[in-house]
Amino acid sequence: MIIDINFIGVIIASIMASAVPLILASCGELITERSGVLNLGVEGMMIIGAISGFALMTVTGSLIIAVFGAMLAGVLISTIFAFLTQTLITNHVATGLALTIFGIGISAMIGKNFVGIPGKEFPVLFEGLKDTMPLLGPILFGHSIVFYFAFALPFITSYFLKKTKIGLILRAVGDSPESASNQGINVRLVRYACILYGGAMSGLAGAYLSMIYTPQWIENMTGGRGWIALALVVFSTWNPIKILIGAMIFGGLTIIQFHMQAIGVRIPVQFLTALPYIVTIIVLVVISRDSRKIRLSTPSSLGKSFHKDN
Amino acid sequence: MNTNLKISNVTKIYPGCVANDNVSLEFNSGKIYALLGENGAGKSTLVKILSGVIIPDEGNIYLNENNLKLNSPLDAKKNDIGMVFQHFNLFETLSVFENLIIDSDEERESLREKIDTIMKKYNFSIDLDIPVLNLSAGQKQKVEIIRCLIRSPKVLIMDEPTSVLTEQETSELFLSLKKFSEEGILIIYITHKLKEVMQLCDEVAVMRRGKLVSVSEIKNENIESLANKMVGQNLKTIKKKKAKTSSDQLIKITNLNFTSEDPFETNLMDINFSVNRGECLGIAGISGNGQSELFQVLSGEIISEKNSIEFNKNYIGDLNPQERREYLMAFSPEDRLEQAAIPQMKIFENVALNNFKSSNFFNNGLINENKIKEHSKKIISDFNVNTDNIELKSQFLSGGNLQKLIIGRELITSPDLLICFNPTWGLDVGAINYIHETLIKINEQNKSIILISTDTDELLKLSDKISVIHKGKLSKIMNAEEVTSEKLGILMGGAN
C-alpha cells in the first residue's frame, strides 16, 4: 500500500486541530493555578464559551463578535467564581464544581434553540500555500487564526512566566500569598486577574469547538475536554511546553483510535476510547518524574483561600 | 541626617484582647533599640503597625515630624521603613534574585550590581541564582536584610531575628547591625531574649500585655531587672539535680536511616544512640537539620526497619505510634495545633485521641464519654491547665495551657520514655518553667526523656547527655557537664 505523504500531513494537521481546545484551556488554567487558585470549572467555562460563540455567530452573523463574545462569556462566568472564592472566601473545589454544573445546565438551556442549525465557515489563513510543500504544507498552512494562536500560546505563556515582572509576581503570589501581601502585592487583584484570564481562554477553547472544529451546537459538546485540560495542567507540572506535548499526545491518540476503529482493528472499542486518557497521563507522569522539580514548580498555595486580616 | 521615629498613642484592639494599649515611643538614629516582651505582649502587633501590615485603631506614627499613613506594606517601604520578619517573607520556590527583584523598580543589571556592592560591603556571600529553599536560615535572613538595604532604609526593624540562627550566625548578625547603626540607620530590635538585649542594644522598651511598662538605657539594667519587668513578677530559677547514674538501657537506636523524596525534608544518616533509664538525652540543632524527621521516625509516624529501634528489649522499628504507646512510649510533637491536638475538637475529645489499651475510652465501638471526661478532669487538675471547662475547643487554649494538656495526656499512662520536640516553643516564661519542672520530675521517677530542641539554654538545663544534629547526622554523645553553649553552637554550624 502506498501512503500519500500529503495524507500523513493531513492526519498530523487534524491531530493538531484536536489539540487546540486543550492547549487553550490548559494554558489559561495554568495561569490561574500558578497564582494559587484551583478552578475546577474549566469544563463549565468551556461549554459556556461554546454556546455563546455559536449563538452570537448565528444571531449577529459576525465571527469577530462571536469569538470575542465567547471569551467575554468565559470572563463573566469566571467572575462569579472569582467573587465567590476571592471576596467571599469560599472553598475553591466546591465552587469550581458548582461552576461546571452551572455551565453545563445553562448552556443546554440557551442552546435549545440552536440545535440543528448549521454553522458558518470560519476563514483560514495561507490556504494557497498548502500545496507548495509536501507533508509540511498541510501541517503549516490553511488553518484558522485561533489555531495559530493556540500553538504560540504555550511559548508565550512560558516566556511570560519566566521573563516578565508580572509573571514573577504571579508566581510569587502562588508560592506564598502571605509573603506577597506583606511585600505590598495586592494578592486578591492578581488572583482575580488570573481567574478572569483563565475564563477567557476556556471561553475561546469552547468557541473553537462550536465554531471551527465542529461548526454546530450539540448539547454537552465539550465532552470532558475541560477535565482533560485540568489533568494536563497537573500532570505537566505547571509547565506550558509539557502541556503542548500532552495535548498533542491526547489529540493524536484520539484521532488514531478513530481511524483504527474505522479500519476495524480487533481491539475492544472501550479500550481504544480510553487509550488517549491512559497514555497521556502515563507519558506526562514519566516526563515529570523529578520530585524536586515538581516541588519547585507546584504553586505551594494551590487551592488554599487567602484572607488578609487587619 | 538624623532620623526620628515617633509612635504616638497607638491602640489596636482585637476581639477579646487589647494587643496595643495606648503605646507611645520615640526612637532616634544612631542607637539600637530593643523592644522586649514575652509572646503575646504586643511587640509583633506594634512592629506590624510600623510596617503597614496592620492598621491601628487609634494613634499616629511620625517619621521626622511627618505623620505617616501606613495603610499597606507598600506605604512603609515608600517611607524608608524596612522590616525583617520573624517568619521569613520569602518565596521559597523562586530564586534569590527573583525574590529581590520582585519589589524593586530597577533594571536587572543595575540591581545585580547594587546587590553585589551590598554583599561585598557587609561580607555576605549568597548565590543569587539558586532557589531560596536551598538556603540555610541564616542565609535566608541575609536575603531579607539585603532586600531592605536595596532601598537604603532610614529605619530597619528586626522581628525576633535570632530564633533560627546559630551562635556564630547571631554574632555575625550583631556585627552587621552595629555597622548599619553607625551608618545612621535606626535599628529596632524585637526579642524576648534578655542576653541579646544586653549584648546589642543601647536602649530598651519593655512591653507586657499590650502595655508599655518601661523605657530605659541598657547601662542601667541587668538581666534580672529586665526579666522581672518583662514577666511582672520575680522568677524562681529551676535547676536540675544530677541524675543518678544508671546503666539500665531503655532504648537503643542502631544504624537508623531515612531517605526522603521531598526536597524540603532532610535525610537521616546512620543514627546511633541509646538512652538509659532516668536519663534525659538532649538533641540540639538548628531547625531544619533533620529534627522533625528524627522525631517522626522515633514516634512511628515514619516506619523504619524493625531492628533499628530496640525499646525495653523489644524491636519496635516497624510499629506505628499507637502500637508504640502500648510499649509505654509517649510523644509530644513540635506543632501543638497541627500535630499534637485537633484545634476544632473539644478538650476531652483530644484526650480521647490517645486511646491506649487500658483506657476503656471505648466499649464495643461506642464512646464512653463519662470515662473520658473523668480522665480529662484529672489531667487538667494534675497538670495545672488553666480552665475548668473540658468542653472547650482546644484552639481556645493558650499555647502554654495546650502544651500542659498534651504533656499531661501523654504522661497519665506513666510511660517509660517521653519524646518531646520543642516543648516550650513560643510559650511564656511561667509556662516554660512549669514544663521544665515537669520534665525534671519525670527523670526523678527514673523515667527517660528524649528532648529534641532548638533552644540551647533549655537543653543545657535539662539534659544529662547531649548530641547535636546537623544535616541529618548526629554528633557523638557528650555529657552535659562538659558542654558549653559555644561548643554546641560550633557543632550546630556543622564544624567538628
* Band of pLDDT at residue A310, cut at 50, 70 and 90: very low
| CB atoms B103 and A176 under 8 Å | no
CA distance B54 to chain A (A): 5
Query: CA B341, CA B336: separation in Å to the nearest integer?
Result: 6
B112-134 mean pLDDT: 91
Q: What b/e string do you get for A237-249 counting C-beta neighbours within 10 Å, with b at 16 or more?
A: bbbbebbbbbbbb
Closest residue in chain B to residue A309, using alpha carbons only? B54
Burial class (CB in 10 A: 0-12, 13-18, 19+), B71: exposed
Specify the 3-state DSSP secondary structure of B57: coil
B241-258 mean pLDDT: 82
> What's the grid cell of residue B44?
509583633
Domains of chain B: 4-231 (3.40.50.300), 249-492 (3.40.50.300)
- Residue numbers in A near B91 (CB within 8 A): 171-172, 175-176, 179-180
Write out pLDDT tens, residues B317-332.
999 988 898 899 999 9
> What's the grid cell of residue A36?
494559587
Write out pLDDT tens, residues A110-157.
999 999 998 888 999 988 888 888 888 888 999 999 999 999 999 999
Q: Please report the pLDDT score of residue B236 as a whole number.
A: 62
Query: How many beta-carbon pairs under 8 angstroms link A with B?
Result: 66
CA distance A173 to chain B (A): 9
Angle at B353 between CA B352 and CA B358, to 5 degrees: 60
Chain B segment 257-276 residues within 8 A of A by beta carbon are 261-264
Residue A1 in this model has a pLDDT that exceeds 60: no
Beta carbons within 8 Å of B370's beta carbon, 6+ residues apart: none
Q: Which among A172, A175, A310 has CB closest to B55?
A: A310
Q: Centre a 10 Å sphere on the Cβ of residue B305 and count the other Cβ atoms it contains.
A: 13
Quickly tell me which residue has 511546553 as its cell. A241
Does an H or E element contain B469, and which? strand B465-470
Q: How many residues does chain B have?
A: 496
- Residue numbers in B near A181 (CB within 8 A): 73
| CB atoms A291 and B92 under 8 Å | no
DSSP alpha helices (H): ranges in B57-107? 73-78, 96-101
Specify the 3-state DSSP secondary structure of B283: strand
| CB atoms A171 and B91 under 8 Å | yes
Does an H or E element contain B322, and which? helix B321-326
Least confident of B114-128, B145-159, B248-262, B421-435: B421-435
Domains of chain A: 5-125+133-297 (1.10.3470)
ipTM of the shown complex: 0.82
DSSP alpha helices (H): ranges in B93-166? 96-101, 108-121, 137-150
* Band of pLDDT at residue B170, cut at 50, 70 and 90: confident
Q: Centre a 10 Å sphere on the Cβ of residue A69 and count the other Cβ atoms it contains.
A: 21
B433-440 mean pLDDT: 90
Does an H or E element contain B282, and which? strand B280-284
Greater pLDDT, A215 or B394: A215
Q: Under a CB-based contact definition with an 8 Å cutoff, are residues A191 and A302 in contact?
A: no
Beta carbons within 8 Å of B26's beta carbon, 6+ residues apart: B4, B5, B6, B7
Q: Please report the pLDDT score of residue A66 as a whole number.
A: 96
Specify the 3-state DSSP secondary structure of B138: helix
CA distance B310 to chain A (A): 33
Write out pLDDT tens, residues B42-95.
888 899 899 898 899 999 999 999 999 998 888 998 899 999 987 788 998 899
End-to-end Cα spacing for chain B: 46
Among candidate residues B248, B280, B219, the one with its CA nearest the CA of residue B453 = B280
Q: Under a CB-based contact definition with an 8 Å cutoff, are residues A301 and A174 in contact?
A: yes
Q: Centre a 10 Å sphere on the Cβ of residue A67 and count the other Cβ atoms it contains.
A: 25
Greater pLDDT, B246 or A273: A273
Residue A3 in this model has a pLDDT that exceeds 70: no
Q: Please report the pLDDT score of residue A2 as a whole number.
A: 57
Q: What is the mean pLDDT of chain A?
A: 91
Q: Under a CB-based contact definition with an 8 Å cutoff, are residues B192 and B39 in contact?
A: yes
| CB atoms A175 and B94 under 8 Å | yes
Q: Residue B27 has what DSSP assignment? A: E
Q: Please report the pLDDT score of residue B242 as a whole number.
A: 66
Residue B457 in this model has a pLDDT that exceeds 90: no
- Residue numbers in B near A296 (CB within 8 A): 93, 131, 133, 263
Q: Please report the pLDDT score of residue B227 as a whole number.
A: 82
Q: Under a CB-based contact definition with an 8 Å cutoff, are residues B235 and B229 in contact?
A: no
Residues above pLDDT 90, as percent of chain A: 65
Give Cα separations from B457 to B38, B199, B462, B463, B493 (angstroms).
Answer: 17, 17, 9, 10, 17
One-letter amino acid for residue B476 of the chain: K
Angle at B305 between CA B318 and CA B422, to 5 degrees: 75
Specify the 3-state DSSP secondary structure of A143: strand
Q: How many residues does chain A have?
A: 310
B378-389 mean pLDDT: 85
Strand positions, DSSP E, A1-143: none
Q: Under a CB-based contact definition with an 8 Å cutoff, are residues B379 and B346 in contact?
A: no
Among candidate residues A96, A93, A94, A56, the one with its CA nearest the CA of residue A72 = A56
Q: Please report the pLDDT score of residue A36 as a whole number.
A: 95
Q: At what angle do helices A5-34 and A145-163 cross, to 10 degrees?
A: 40
Q: DSSP letters along A160-192, please? A: HHHHSHHHHHHHHHHH-HHHHHHTT--HHHHHH
Greater pLDDT, B83 or B426: B83
Write out pLDDT tens, residues B222-244.
888 888 888 776 666 666 766 56
Quickly tell me which residue has 540562627 as its cell. B165
* Band of pLDDT at residue B431, cut at 50, 70 and 90: confident
